[in-house]
């Protein structure tokens, strides 16, 4: 068997299980973990992995419409299709790989019941495909492995020869499809995807180091453990507050949140004077103790003359990530007499969301007047206040 092809990578997220052992009144993939359904974590992680071009979501019976909505939201434009699964996990995987895009050459199959999969693990498993037909993450056994029969020990195998398999399990497309085709003809059913590939003559499956945090939620104890982990992470929040003000001037465009607002005046400043972006950027820098906007992008530096403040916001977003934090929410208030902001609010929120790499519903943009009081009321300029919430990743 040959190993070749570096085309598109498709992730198949298997979410067809009913989760009967959890004792819940809804399908396992829809069980609440943190503030959202379990399946969304795998969707989001694979969507953010640059090498993955498309995602196929395999859902269970009775929640296809919900799966479609979740896929469209959390797969971030990479959703190829949603397909109903089968009775067994192997049936669901088979349903997923029959929908692979034509340009797909590699497949990453992952159980949605493992919500804590990381980008590092995905990359590690994909690298295992360089010289093999498949790659599987595995954890070494910590406990002694023992054979038994009728309640009596029958031997102690060498545990160093065994690992506990996890997902994602990654494969070159052609041998994967052939493995499932042969299995169907032979009536074979395996407990994981590598078991199908191992039946092909000459197949090589790489074992890479797994991740203990990438455990599978199967029992109520697993769910309690996952929720306890989420509570621990969710408690590590920081708040940042930002403020900015710019006066009106003639001969400039009015830019707010990266959006050009039709008006006869613009704002004076060294950059594009986007008062909204500046307030949000200052708030983010403050939340992670990185100073303020002027410290990183001084108005004495010609490199920033006329620059789009959205670009500065993108850099600040990267700085927040480098400090180990993710943006949770942004709330902002523009204070001005004119122009009206309401007609442009959704476009502004979309622009900010793209720059900050978060969802639109994590951003609030409000506007208010001072009823003629102060510099804003006299139409001398615009001020903006912003509050952000970030959490430790």
CATH number where 12 lies: 3.90.550.10
Looking at the fold, whether 266 and 379 belong to one and the same domain comes out as yes
365: containing domain: 237-392
We report the CATH number of the domain holding residue 267 as 3.30.1330.50
The pLDDT assigned to 22 comes to 73
Q: What is the rounded average pLDDT for all residues in the chain?
A: 92
pLDDT at residue 309 greater than cutoff 70 = yes
pLDDT value of residue 237: 87
Query: For residue 295, what pLDDT band results from cuts at 50, 70 and 90?
Result: very high
Q: Are residues 362 and 380 in the same domain?
A: yes
Domain-terminating residue out of 203, 234, 265: 234
Would the pLDDT of 96 be above 80?
Answer: yes
3-class secondary structure for the chain?
CCCCCCCEEEEEEEECCCCHHHCCCCCHHHCEECCEECHHHHHHHHHHCCCEEEEEEEECCCCHHHHHHHHHHHCCCCEEEEEECCCCHHHHHHHHHCCCCCCEEEEEEEECCCCCCCHHHHHHHHHCCCCCCEEEEEEECCCCCCEEECCEEEECCCHHHCEEECCCEEEEHHHHHHHHHHHHHHCCCCCCCHHHHCCCCCCCEEEEECCCCCCCCCCHHHHHHHHHHHHHHHCCEEEEEEEEEEEEECCCCEEECCEEECCCCEECCCCCCCHHHHHHHHHHHHHCCCCCHHHHCCCCCHHHCCCCHHHHHHHHHHHHHHCCEEEEEEEEEEECCCCCCHHHHHHHHHHHHHHHCCCHHHEEEEEECCCCCHHHHCCCEEEEEEEEEEEEC
Last residue of a domain, one of 211, 234, 257: 234
Q: Global pTM?
A: 0.63
* Inside any domain, residue 122: yes
1 within a domain of the structure (yes/no): no
pLDDT band at 19 (very low <50, low <70, confident <90, very high): low
pLDDT in tens, 161-192: 999 999 999 999 999 999 999 999 999 999 99
Let me know if residue 123 belongs to a domain: yes
> Last residue of a domain, which of 234, 256, 281?
234
Q: Is residue 59 part of a domain?
A: yes
Lowest-pLDDT range of 55-59, 98-102, 297-301: 297-301
Assess if residue 196 is contained within a domain. yes
Evaluate whether residue 256 is within a structural domain.
yes
* pLDDT of 194: 96
pLDDT in tens, 346-380: 999 999 999 999 999 999 999 999 999 999 999 99
User: What tens digit of pLDDT does each residue of 116-142 get?
Assistant: 999 999 999 999 999 999 999 999 998
pLDDT tens, residue by residue, 198-249: 999 999 999 999 999 999 999 999 999 998 888 766 567 899 999 999 999 9
Question: Which pLDDT score, from 0 to 100, does residue 388 have?
Answer: 97
């Amino acid at each position: 068997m040959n190993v070749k092809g570096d085309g598109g990578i498709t992730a198949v997220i298997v979410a067809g299980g009913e989760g009967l052992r959890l004792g819940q009144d809804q399908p396992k993939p829809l069980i609440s973990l943190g503030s959202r359904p379990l399946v969304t974590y795998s969707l989001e992680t694979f969507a953010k992995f640059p090498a993955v071009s498309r995602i196929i979501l395999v859902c269970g019976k009775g929640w296809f419409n919900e799966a479609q909505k979740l896929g469209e939201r959390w797969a971030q434009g990479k959703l190829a299709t949603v397909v109903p699964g089968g009775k067994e996990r192997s049936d669901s995987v088979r349903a997923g790989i029959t929908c692979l895009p034509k340009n797909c050459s590699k497949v990453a199959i992952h159980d949605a019941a493992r919500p804590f999969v990381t980008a590092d693990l995905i990359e590690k498993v994909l690298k295992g495909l360089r010289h093999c037909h498949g790659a599987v993450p595995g954890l070494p056994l910590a406990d002694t492995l023992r054979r038994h029969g009728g309640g009596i020990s029958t031997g102690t195998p060498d545990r160093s020869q065994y690992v506990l398999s996890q997902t994602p399990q990654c494969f070159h497309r052609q041998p994967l499809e052939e493995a499932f085709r042969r299995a169907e003809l032979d009536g074979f059913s395996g407990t994981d995807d590598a078991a199908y590939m191992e039946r092909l003559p000459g197949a090589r499956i790489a074992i890479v180091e797994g991740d203990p945090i990438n455990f599978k939620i199967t029992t109520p104890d697993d769910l309690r453990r996952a929720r306890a982990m989420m509570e621990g992470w969710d408690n590590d929040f920081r708040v940042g507050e930002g403020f900015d003000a710019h006066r009106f001037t003639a001969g400039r465009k009015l830019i707010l949140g990266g959006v050009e607002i039709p008006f006869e005046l613009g704002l004076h400043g060294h950059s594009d004077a986007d008062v909204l972006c500046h307030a949000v950027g200052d708030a983010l820098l403050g939340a992670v103790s990185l100073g303020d906007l002027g410290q990183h992008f001084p108005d004495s530096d010609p490199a920033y003359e006329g620059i789009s403040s959205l670009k500065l916001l993108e850099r600040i977003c990267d700085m927040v990530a480098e400090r180990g934090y993710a943006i949770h929410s942004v709330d902002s208030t523009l204070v001005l007499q004119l122009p009206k902001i309401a007609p442009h609010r959704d476009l502004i929120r979309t622009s900010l969301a793209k720059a900050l790499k978060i969802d639109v519903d994590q951003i609030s943009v409000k506007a208010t007047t001072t009823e003629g009081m102060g510099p804003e009321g006299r139409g001398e300029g615009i001020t903006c206040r912003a509050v952000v919430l970030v959490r430790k990743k």
